[in-house]
Amino acid sequence: MEKKRILIVDDEESLLKVIKRSLEKKGYIADTAKEGKKALNLVKDAKYDIVLLDVRMPGMSGFEVLSEIKKIAPDIFVVMMTAQNTMDNAIEAMKKGAYDYLTKPFDLDELNLLMEKINRLIDLQGEVKALRAELEEQQHKWTIIGKSQRMQEIFKAIGKVANSDATVLLLGESGTGKELVARMIHNHSRRTGSPFIKVNCAAIPRDLLESELFGHRKGAFTGAIDTQSGKFVQAQNGTLFLDEIGEMDFNLQGKILRVLQDKEIDRVGEGVPIAVDVRIIAATNIDIEKAVRDKNFREDLYYRLNVFPIKLPPLRERKEDIPELVKYFIKKFSDEMSLNVRSISEKAVEKLMEYNWPGNVRELENSILRAMLMSGGKILSEKEFPFIIETEAVDEKISLYFSVKAKFYKILRGKKGERIFSDIQREVDEALIKLALKESGNSQSKAAKLLGINRNTLRKKIKEMNLKQF
């Protein structure tokens, strides 16, 4: 424990020596001053934890010195020493910010007890400051940035649902911040002091996910070399975040439904139910209603989870938040990784605003980090973002992907699997030819060369697809 530094201020030199000697024996660092001005100079120059201050001294009175000390260092514990034990002195001392006062002559044991009491308070204050700083750091780590109308609606939704125990279903594309919202709900709820446990249902093999969630007894299955408590038990009194719940096995969905209904789990290999008090927040990036219609997700579980749905907007629908997000990420990485970059040029921000961000905020964050690592200066320029291709080309690629995806599932649902490849290939060919013609200024010869096919083949495909030149 760090030694506390004490300043003793009194015009009686003999008393100064006695108190100083007694405190130093107890392990304190003690300095002395015989008058107020010197005491104030010492307080300005050194960091004191405690000041023992006489009320009556030549020049400045102890009360005047006390007032100045509180202006210089408000956190210092000041103990007044007085030979006049009057109510007026006590009231005046407390009004001006003294912690306590001692009546002369006082016993050294009484002084030491008071110093020990203040010592413990200082240590407790230090612990509180450290915990507060840690909490602020954690809250900063899980901050959601956004002043757009869409994000303000999200913040309002979080505020409404946080203090309840309602099950929340977070919907949105990958990278939109579903985990951040889940953590914010937890942090602003009555469960904030209890665990927040995340389980990525898509990342754990289906045959192991049940054991991961509910735990298992030793020997319950091959490879169960010891007993595991499971995520539900680990999240007791807290929040369990089931990310990518749309990927969960249909049979396991039924067991999650039972937990929501009965508030108890069955550990694998153990027949005795275990009561759990856990709030569930689930998230998915799939069209969950469509999954229900297609019988890929249990309807009863969907209604249990969908008590309070929150749909997060993709970044392309809240582009006005990009400048603020960029500033946040630059500061974050500068602090965490001691990088020299401090800001970004307006042109670079404009370029970022033009991009559609299919990977959403996560892609933006990774792009800023990569640019900062590559940059040699303090200001990021548009040159640091060569990997961001033109918006129109991105739109074409996104459109192509979703077109192929929609076609794939349409054919699959129609049970015409034998035509999947040929039908989708036609769509891909059509998109490629359109892009090549656009890139080559509508020149068929240049487009054919770009695609690596001969001109006659290209002409034939254009005719078959009834494509118009642009």
Give residue-wise pLDDT tens across range 203-242: 888 778 988 999 877 766 666 677 788 899 999 999 999 9
The string of pLDDT tens digits covering residues 280-339 is 999 999 999 999 999 999 999 999 999 999 999 999 999 999 999 999 999 989 988 888
Q: What sign has the CA pseudo-torsion 365, 371, 372, 373?
A: positive
DSSP three-state, residue 170: strand
Most distant CA pair in the chain, distance: 112
Give dist(CA 49, CA 67) in Å, integer: 16
Residues of the chain predicted below pLDDT 70: 1, 84-87, 90, 132-142, 219-224, 387-420, 468-470
Q: What are phi and psi of 223, to 5 degrees?
A: 100, -10
Residue 394's pLDDT is what? 47
Instruction: Classify residue 449 by burial, with Cβ atoms within 10 Å: 0-12, 13-18, 19+.
Output: middle
Show the tokens assigned to 116: 């020990």
pLDDT digits (tens, 9 = 90+) for 31-48: 999 999 999 999 998 889
SS3 6: strand
Alpha-carbon Rg for the chain, nearest whole angstrom, is 34
C-alpha–C-alpha distance, residues 2 and 6, integer Å: 13
- What is the spatial distance between Cα 69 and Cα 39, in angstroms, rounded to a whole number? 9
| Cis peptide leading into residue 358 (ω within 30°) | no
49 and 99 Cβ atoms separated by less than 8 Å: no
Q: What is the pLDDT of residue 301?
A: 97
* pLDDT above 70 as % of the chain: 87
pLDDT of residue 391: 44
Task: Give how far Cα 139 sits from Cα of 134, 184, 188, 192, 383, Å.
Answer: 9, 8, 10, 11, 33
Domains contained in the chain, CATH given: 5-132 (3.40.50.2300), 165-312 (3.40.50.300), 316-384 (1.10.8.60), 393-464 (1.10.10.60)
Q: Answer for the pair 179, 241: CB distance below 8 angstroms, yes or no.
A: yes
Q: What's the confidence (pLDDT) of residue 85?
A: 62
Phi-psi region of 168 (alpha: psi -120 to 50; beta: other; left: phi over 0): beta
Please give the structure tokens belonging to residue 245: 């719940």
Instruction: Please provide the DSSP assignment of 62-95 as one string.
Output: HHHHHHHHHHH-TT-EEEEEES---HHHHHHHHH
438-444, Cβ contacts within 8 angstroms, sequence gap of 24 or more: 438/470, 442/469, 442/470
172: which 2 tokens?
A: 């949105």
Q: How far is CA 439 from the centre of its chain?
A: 42
CB neighbour list of residue 423: distance below 8 Å, 6 or more residues apart: 407, 411
| Nearest alpha-carbon partner for 261 in 246, 276, 283 | 276
Length of the chain: 470
pLDDT at 78: 94
